[in-house]
Chain A
Amino acid sequence: MKRALTDEIRERIIILDGATGTEFQKKGMPAGACPELWCLDNREIVEGVHAAYRNAGADIILTATFGANRVKLEQYGAKDVAGINRDLARMARRAAGAGVLVGGDIGPTGRFVRPFGDLDFEEAVGIFKEQVRGLLEGGVDLFTIETMIDIQETRAALIAVKEITDAFTSVTMTYEPHGRTLNGTDPVAALITLQSLGADAVGCNCSTGPEEMLALIEAMKPWAKVPLVAKPNAGMPQLIDGATCFTMRAETFVSFATQFAEKGANLLGGCCGTTPDYIRLLKKEIGGARPVPPVRESISAVSSARASVILEGERSLAIVGERINPTGKKDLQAELREGKMSLLRSMAREQEKKGAKLLDVNVGMSEIDQKKTMLDAIGALAVSSDLPLVIDSSDSEVIEAALRLYPGRALINSISGEREKMERLLPAAARYGAMFILLPLAGGNIPETAEERKKIIEEVFAEAKALGFTKADIVIDSLVMAASSNLKAPMETLKTVEWGSTIFKANTLVGLSNVSFGMPERPWLNGAFLAMAVSRGLTMAIANPGVEEVMNSAIAADLLAGKDRDAARYIEHFSRRPAAVQKPAVSGDTPADPIFQAVLEGNRDDMEAILSRALEAGGEARKLVDEHMIPAITEVGVLFDRREYFLPQLIASAEAMKKGIAWLEPWLAGAAPTKKEKGRIIIATVEGDVHDIGKNIVALMLKNQGYTVTDLGKDVPAATIISEAVRLKPAVIALSALMTTTMVKMADVIDLARKQAVDCRFMVGGAVVTKGYAESIGAHYAKDGVEAVRVADELSR
């Protein structure tokens, strides 16, 4: 059947059915009912809907088993998953009659699968297998996994089908109007992941109308090895007279059919809001039309849960970030030992920002469970980075486990010509559709010449080919050896690159930094070698993207090798290099001296050195504060008020000043009091409230302006504030609250102060506090730290 359907898809557009859920609702299924149980009780209606789609011309109708998985059925107390699937499949089978195929419909469980949720991956596979077995028992011809939003759950469902049957399996995901699934997967990434994993057709359904879905099909087609499926809704739901409806008429819906066919959809149907009338018109419009068959036999591409990297064609060199490797990194070793992933996530983000296109992940170290750590690392990176991963381990078991869990199409680093590696890893790579780095090592020896390497590469590829691999699925590691130990070694590597790229026609890779091992000024050697390799066709390099010479060489080499059309990438990259700092406008004629500038720019790093130089030049500490720093922080306040500065700049400047004053303290201690020294202010976040960032900002600003600030912290009872006020006799008490429930405590503090005849003024602020509220409780209001200084100045006059 599978062969026949595949052949048929090449000959004509296949018509699928339309919505069943909305049809059942029209025919009496109540809101909140379990659709599958309702269907079992309403066989005639269900078979009638199936028959209506058959009569309308659908080539394939789907079983009413969208939610017939254990997780969903349990919510309604139903336990016989296999039985329900079997019976519903039989209904569809009866209604289909001869000549129409029945697709076993599999929808999401509603839970997210690790690493995106708490449902264990193997449990998810098991849940879908129950459904698959029931559907097979009921006589389905093929499977349709649809309306998926979680790529990992989709993989689990596909693996479940593939581990039970070889039946044709179509997989469609649901995309938001912005073109990604809710979890952020883009259609090309989904296509690359799912077709590699064995889906026989891939596409999209639900969520959008036909117009929006056309763009998804168009994006997928150039990379598709398999037929594409489109099942749009009848437009977007609208609220009309208090009821939600799909308003796109069948004629309008069908008017997109030709465009779908032209853009490469091979199977067409409808989702929510469509009816047998839509399918009838669709069949009339496009049924039997010649489709655009899949355009590719193979593809060099890898994917993550959200994005993909295409490696073929005139693509620029792909840098594989090498930093996630504990060798020589004590911090990372310590984190991995403790099971933490924070540093690993930071390394991933940093490499991504520096221009890496893939991330090599190696957790090889002693004293840890490498398999568990690798799976944890994959989980952490899957949710924090868009870059596809290179699974790097010398342990085949670790790689195999990683491939099963990795929510994308991975690149394996590596499979060598060693017999044990090939026998274990080639079938695993084939099973999960991974690409692999072919390491030309065999017999425990490192082949020194390009000729020896070619021989091993051809032998390994011959075995891989027997398992269905093509040259597009492999990346040849050209074996970089240290120039310091053999000056001829780099040329042998380059010969391997050239042969691999231009004669053998596969992707090629170098582990860059090996070439300079043992040599001084390594970045120059690395950069030069990389440029030479690019000129011979190199596709990828494992390197540290944080090394500027390497990244600059890669970009320059791409341009010279003709891989950078119009030099756009080169120009863009180098135009981002440090330019003259854009200084904010300075109001008035404030002197632009280094101390002033350091405060103005929030330059905490250089503050001490700048002050040190000023003191050495004969400056007086008190004057440095009064005549340079205070005017600067006042200027910052002006810029903040004008919104030329925003909050981080205001705080950075305040911190720079605080740091400067702290450093000058020994000199200030002996100096005469300044006219800038002001009174005392007690500040606190009121009882019940734990928010204190705003309060801390205000305290910092007040201190910088010469106030003596006593910060009582957060969640401070009124009695504590007033007893401190009695003791310290402040000019002002400043109170902060963020919530409506705690704001009222400000009044308690003021009432208590009055009862105890505390002679001071009150200033209040916080997200929910308003000027009106402040006045109502007898306090003054400040909206932010800058205004707090002004209000304090007025109150303490």
Chain B
Amino acid sequence: MPTQVQVFPTITIPVPYDAIYRRLGFKRGITQVDKRSGEEIESHIDYALSLISLKGAGRRVGLRELTPTAVVLETGDEFRSGNLARFLGGCEEILLMGATAGDAVMEAIRRDTEGEKMTRGVVMDAAASEMADAALDWIAGYYSHQLTRENARLTQGRFSAGYGDFLLENQMIMHDLLELDRIGVGISESCILIPEKSVTAVMGIQR
């Protein structure tokens, strides 16, 4: 079975406006936005979109073993997480995914939030986060097509390092296996993906 990393150099998705607004704390029926503020926020989102360049990577990896506390991959790598092992129960293969909103938007966010345009920076930050997250959905959709033809499918939901007992340190393994350097994503010693608006996730493959 081919287990090469598939790189997606350009991911085109509909803008997840609702998710961006939700991330910024908008509550339908309660939050009130006047016309001037509304137009300003929309223009900030547009500016973010002109700078966001979504890229991604995916890789199918076979499972060697699921223990009560760890997920052992065919590559020999091991994710230490009981929650993840339970989530993947019954799967013989997993899908690893990574996505990034790119450098340019992160640089603009940094300039704005450290400078005189914090409102724009905060809105762009939310837009970039949600776009990167939606890119993972897109990658899952891509693999879902392949799997349908193999009489298989992806698990509902996905797991990301940094939540529960799936510690952020696992991001190192994700970064290596997905060869995220190929889409311009590095990782710091404290396991933070750089550029910041980059995300990874694991899904199970059910047959």
Whether A582 contacts B192 by the Cβ 8 Å rule is no
B86 within 8 A of A: no
B114 to chain A, nearest CB (A): 7
Asked, given contacts A237-B153, A739-B162, whether A646 binds B142 with beta carbons under 8 Å apart, the answer is no
9-residue interface stretch from A189-197, A312-320, A687-695 = A687-695
**What does DSSP make chain A's interface, helix, strand, loop or mixed?**
loop
A751 within 8 A of B: no
Asked, given contacts A740-B167, A741-B169, whether A345 binds B118 with beta carbons under 8 Å apart, the answer is no
Q: Mark B6-25, 1 if CB is under 8 A from A, else 0.
A: 11111011100000010011
In chain A, what residue has the closest Cβ to B92? A31
Partner of A644, one of B31, B167, B168, B190: B31
**What does DSSP make chain B's interface, helix, strand, loop or mixed?**
mixed
**Considering residues A207, A585, A602, A690, which has the most beta carbons from chain B within 10 angstroms of its beta carbon?**
A690
User: B146 contacts which chain A residues (CB < 8 A)?
Assistant: 110
A583 within 8 A of B: yes
Whether A647 contacts B34 by the Cβ 8 Å rule is no
Whether B7 contacts A118 by the Cβ 8 Å rule is yes
How far is it, in angstroms, between the C-alpha of A118 and the C-alpha of B57 when the chains are bound?
12
9-residue interface stretch from A10-18, A242-250, A255-263, A444-452 = A242-250
For B, the interface residue count at a CB cutoff of 8 angstroms equals 70
Whether B151 contacts A647 by the Cβ 8 Å rule is no
B176 within 8 A of A: no
Asked, given contacts A117-B9, A345-B50, A646-B24, whether A652 binds B40 with beta carbons under 8 Å apart, the answer is yes
9-residue interface stretch from A176-184, A426-434, A610-618 = A176-184
How far is it, in angstroms, between the C-alpha of A431 and the C-alpha of B6 when the chains are bound?
33
For A, the interface residue count at a CB cutoff of 8 angstroms equals 80
B2 within 8 A of A: yes
How far is it, in angstroms, between the C-alpha of A691 and the C-alpha of B113 when the chains are bound?
11
Among A346-370, those with CB < 8 Å from B are: 346, 349-350, 353
A128 to chain B, nearest CB (A): 19
User: B32 contacts which chain A residues (CB < 8 A)?
Assistant: 582, 584-585, 644-645
B207 to chain A, nearest CB (A): 6
User: B31 contacts which chain A residues (CB < 8 A)?
Assistant: 643-646
Asked, given contacts A112-B9, A147-B145, A741-B168, whether A601 binds B34 with beta carbons under 8 Å apart, the answer is yes
B153 to chain A, nearest CB (A): 5
Partner of B148, one of A117, A206, A696, A739: A206
Partner of B37, one of A206, A585, A649, A655: A649
Among B117-153, those with CB < 8 Å from A are: 117-119, 121-123, 125-126, 138, 141-142, 145-146, 148-153
How far is it, in angstroms, between the C-alpha of A353 and the C-alpha of B47 when the chains are bound?
13
Asked, given contacts A112-B9, A651-B119, whether A384 binds B4 with beta carbons under 8 Å apart, the answer is no
Whether B190 contacts A21 by the Cβ 8 Å rule is no
A159 to chain B, nearest CB (A): 20
Whether B10 contacts A206 by the Cβ 8 Å rule is no
Whether B49 contacts A384 by the Cβ 8 Å rule is yes
Asked, given contacts A384-B49, A602-B119, A697-B118, whether A31 binds B145 with beta carbons under 8 Å apart, the answer is no
Whether B168 contacts A243 by the Cβ 8 Å rule is no
Partner of A75, one of B2, B41, B153: B2
Partner of B191, one of A582, A693, A696, A741: A741
Whether B122 contacts A690 by the Cβ 8 Å rule is no
B65 within 8 A of A: no
In chain B, what residue has the closest Cβ to A654? B118
In chain B, what residue has the closest Cβ to A118? B9
Asked, given contacts A31-B207, A349-B50, whether A696 binds B114 with beta carbons under 8 Å apart, the answer is yes
Whether A739 contacts B190 by the Cβ 8 Å rule is yes
User: B44 contacts which chain A residues (CB < 8 A)?
Assistant: 648
User: B104 contacts which chain A residues (CB < 8 A)?
Assistant: 342
How far is it, in angstroms, between the C-alpha of A309 and the C-alpha of B30 when the chains are bound?
37
Partner of B152, one of A111, A115, A116, A244: A244
Asked, given contacts A31-B150, A648-B37, whether A342 binds B50 with beta carbons under 8 Å apart, the answer is yes
A-B contact pairs, 22 of them (CB 8 A): A31-B152, A112-B8, A115-B10, A118-B9, A149-B142, A176-B141, A182-B138, A206-B149, A244-B152, A272-B151, A383-B12, A579-B35, A583-B34, A646-B21, A647-B126, A648-B123, A649-B37, A652-B119, A688-B192, A690-B192, A692-B113, A741-B168
* Given A206-B145, A645-B32, 10 other A-B residues pairs in contact with their CB atoms under 8 A: A25-B150, A75-B2, A116-B12, A237-B151, A246-B151, A349-B46, A645-B31, A646-B25, A651-B119, A693-B113
Interface residues of B, Cβ cutoff 8 Å to A: 1-2, 4, 6-10, 12-14, 21, 24-27, 30-37, 40-41, 44, 46-47, 49-51, 90, 104, 109, 113-114, 116-119, 121-123, 125-126, 138, 141-142, 145-146, 148-153, 162, 167-169, 188-192, 194, 196, 206-207
List the 4 shortest-distance A-B pairs measured between CB atoms, nearest first. Answer: A32-B1, A688-B190, A646-B25, A75-B2
